[in-house]
Structure 1
Amino acid sequence: MTYIASISSFYSDACITYATLSVSYFALSKSSPFSFQSALWRRVLFGVLAGLAALYLGEGRLQLSANMYYSFAMLPMILVIFYGGGISGLVCYLVNFAFTGGFTLDNLFIASIVLPLLLSRVWLKKSFKVFYLTIGIIALYRIGIASVFVDFRRLWVDILVFQFASALCLAVCYHALNFKERHIHAFFSMRNKATTDSLTHINNRASVDYKMLMQHTQRQSCGLMILDLDDFKKVNDTHGHLAGDEVLSSVGRILQDCVRNEDFVGRYGGEEFIVITSSYDPEHIAAMAERIRSRVESTVFNTEGGDVIHMTISIGTSLYLPGMTVDKAIEITDEALYDAKREGKNRVVSSRLMPLSPLGDGFRRG
């Protein structure tokens, strides 16, 4: 019985192909949907995992002659190009190339299929039509090569059945991965809508509340800033609400530029923003707040309507220390903001909690 005649072998190879790529795709989509635009290390890792699957699938062969055989090793390579792009496809091929003898006839044959896919950048035109056209051309190419090197009249049944099985496996895996891709994108889209402010594209009030709840639940100290744009109502009254929205959006970008990756920025409501810092060192918090205040003051806000607007911002800083309620921490920070407004605006005022920052060390170590 030939290799292709074994239904169980075909089924297991299809399962291995899908499981490897599906689990890899899901794992690499933990923080954001995986695609050909993902971070380089993610695309390389996807290619490596697909390459390992190709190595395993290459062990099962339909031997057509002493020098030629078919295997399912091509399946992960084709799929990984469509879903991971050129880097993933190239890495997958190189893994297989490195562990199967290098410059062999079979690897050169595989390269003659992979290279056109990479050069045509099929991942940019991913659609059912392009995919089925691709596997159809590949099947005809493989049949044509086989007819040159082997007795096609004697082996035509095995050759045609193998191409059909390969195409079927590719189609099943492609549609299954496409289904997973759409659901992952839908999940992240809904999550972003639920947690992101639609105007400023930073965290919304619900995200702020959840973040503070996590700080409280996990008993983690942190720094707090509540920021309020000075005289923002005049902007809306003088320049209109669209101009005001543009200012708010620009301030959101300024906040993101001025904090570290581990810090949290959110819109607290209206023209109020909040920053939650992982550091609860008073000097660090004060320096960051002053950097934000200075940046807003020096920024010229140009609106689409041609208006030029200058803004200032008042900032109250404080701490959250385990043992406090979230409401109390916010209230104390808000009092510091009120003092900044009362003292003349465009300034940073720290709360009475700042001298107590060493109390957070014991909780952080615990």
Structure 2
Amino acid sequence: MNEYLIPLTSACTLVTLNYIATKLRSKMLIESHEHLLAPLLTGLASIIMMLQPLPEAFGLIDLRSLPIFMAGLRYGLPVAILSTVLPSGYSFILQENHGLFVIAQDLAAPALLSSFFHNKEYRSGFLDIPIRHGLQICTLVFIVRLMTHAYLTGSFSLDYAADLLFMQFIMTATFILLIAMVNDENKNWRLQRQLEMQANQDGLTRLPNLRSFISIAKNAMRMRKVSIMMIDIDNFKRYNDHFGHLEGDQLLRDIASILRHYVQEQDYVARYGGEEFILISTETDPIRLAAYAQRLCEAVAGSFQEQSNNVYPQITISIGISIAGAPQEELQQIISEADHALYESKHSGKNRFTFYTGAKIAKHKMNAY
């Protein structure tokens, strides 16, 4: 009876190791080097399984293949193959009987088989690993082992099949539990990510909020020169008063969608507040920035051209632009300069962009007071 406790002990050990690995990953202790550490930890888990050999009657040497199955299923073939290096080396050190055959059957074959079921979204955590994959893999393993045994011995033994069936039940249950643990950890990670996105996202426009923008802009300004655009919807208060707040909210969403579509891929746009948006760009050449801002103005004006009428003029935006003189310049200063440039655009006819120049801003400040 005690021999039946050995595979259970091995399974419990493997579940514990998997729990530790998932917690380490959730704490982001290994995520940045996961492509290297995943094969290392998987290989070590396989070696630990090799330290607990099973009775010969069960038809399996040990549970070394289970960590490899998980590696192939979750990370794909390259990681799964790398995961076999350590246990293969350990097998040679032990000088196991039929060493090459054991490596091929219990390490290389599991790596190849499980990788056929791999999906890149399993690695990222955005998609749960289906339990059916575990059932399919274990069923194929059971069939292959029975056929291999029958081929090597030239006979079919019911006793061997019964013992192998017991071990396959242990393997299947453990494999499914490992998959469930990984899926549960991924669900927690996705929930945390969703909460973080909500905290950094404007609820109305679904653009990033100012808090998120400031953090990203500060990091960008430490590395390179940038430019800031302050963008304001022209006559928004008048639009809001005439059509109501619901239509005003919809206009904000529509403008946000247009900006999201036309902003360059490497740039970052957020809602600043009210009817204002803010954009940080890696573009600092005034000529290309002018074309960029002109394109944004034309995109908004063109999108609402059919809606203009005698009651309400065409919907447009005004833009103020400030270019950082050097990396690590004060972000709030650049935003303030872009805001002053926006003030000039608004008071110079709207539906246009203006670059910040100190002399012009000083003049407007004086006029304002």
TM-score, with length taken from structure 1: 0.64
**Cα distance 1:203–1:309, how it changes in 2: closer, same or farther (>3 A)?**
farther
1:204 and 2:209 are equivalent in the alignment: yes
**Cα distance 1:301–1:244, how it changes in 2: closer, same or farther (>3 A)?**
farther
Residue matched to 1:35: none
| Distance in structure 1 (CA, Å) of the matches to 2:217 and 2:210 | 11
1:262 aligns with one of 266, 270, 274 = 266
| Distance in structure 2 (CA, Å) of the matches to 1:251 and 1:170 | 50
Per-residue CA distance 1:170-197 (angstroms, 9 max, x = gap): 1332232122101210111011101111
SS in 2 for 1:250: helix
Partner amino acid, structure 1, of 2:288: H
1:77 and 2:86 are equivalent in the alignment: no
2:176 aligns with one of 167, 171, 180 = 171
Question: 2:39, 2:83 within 8 Å by CA — same for their partners in 1?
Answer: no
Residue matched to 1:311: 315
2:196 aligns with one of 191, 200, 208 = 191
**Cα distance 1:107–1:296, how it changes in 2: closer, same or farther (>3 A)?**
same
| Distance in structure 2 (CA, Å) of the matches to 1:91 and 1:274 | 43
1:333 and 2:341 are equivalent in the alignment: no
SS in 2 for 1:202: coil
Residue matched to 1:358: none
2:285 aligns with one of 259, 281, 284 = 281
1:344 and 2:349 are equivalent in the alignment: yes
1:162 and 2:167 are equivalent in the alignment: yes
Residue matched to 1:290: 294
Question: 2:68, 2:107 within 8 Å by CA — same for their partners in 1?
Answer: no
Shift of 1:206: 1.6
Shift of 1:202: 1.5
Question: 1:196, 1:202 within 8 Å by CA — same for their partners in 2?
Answer: yes
Shift of 1:77: 3.3
Partner amino acid, structure 2, of 1:205: L
Residue matched to 1:251: 255
**Cα distance 1:280–1:77, how it changes in 2: closer, same or farther (>3 A)?**
same
Per-residue CA distance 1:222-278 (angstroms, 9 max, x = gap): 211101111223433444434333332232233233333332211011211001123
Per-residue CA distance 1:38-77 (angstroms, 9 max, x = gap): xxxx9xx79x967994898499587979x99775425543
Question: 2:60, 2:164 within 8 Å by CA — same for their partners in 1?
Answer: no
Shift of 1:326: 4.0
| Distance in structure 1 (CA, Å) of the matches to 2:281 and 2:31 | 24
Partner amino acid, structure 1, of 2:69: M
| Distance in structure 2 (CA, Å) of the matches to 1:109 and 1:352 | 68
Partner amino acid, structure 2, of 1:77: F
SS in 2 for 1:288: helix
Per-residue CA distance 1:299-335 (angstroms, 9 max, x = gap): 24899xxxx9942111011134568654433222111
1:226 and 2:218 are equivalent in the alignment: no
**Cα distance 1:277–1:137, how it changes in 2: closer, same or farther (>3 A)?**
same
What is the 5 A alignment of 1:64-213? Answer: 72-73=64-65, 76-77=68-69, 81=73, 84=74, 130=132, 141=143, 152-155=157-160, 158-213=163-218
Per-residue CA distance 1:7-48 (angstroms, 9 max, x = gap): 776566556666778877987x979xxxxxxxxxx9xx79x9
Query: Considering only aligned residues, what root-mean-square deviation do their CA atoms show, in Å?
Result: 5.3
| Distance in structure 2 (CA, Å) of the matches to 1:144 and 1:301 | 73
**Cα distance 1:142–1:50, how it changes in 2: closer, same or farther (>3 A)?**
farther
**Cα distance 1:225–1:117, how it changes in 2: closer, same or farther (>3 A)?**
closer
Question: 1:263, 1:277 within 8 Å by CA — same for their partners in 2?
Answer: yes
Farther off after superposition, 250-259 or 287-296: 250-259
TM-score, with length taken from structure 2: 0.63
| Distance in structure 1 (CA, Å) of the matches to 2:112 and 2:216 | 52
Farther off after superposition, 274-283 or 318-327: 318-327
- Identical residues among aligned pairs (%): 24
Per-residue CA distance 1:84-104 (angstroms, 9 max, x = gap): 5xxx6577788899x989xx8
SS in 1 for 2:357: coil
SS in 2 for 1:268: strand
Question: 1:297, 1:312 within 8 Å by CA — same for their partners in 2?
Answer: yes
Per-residue CA distance 1:151-185 (angstroms, 9 max, x = gap): 64554675245224313431332232122101210
1:271 and 2:275 are equivalent in the alignment: yes
Number of aligned positions between the proteins? 328
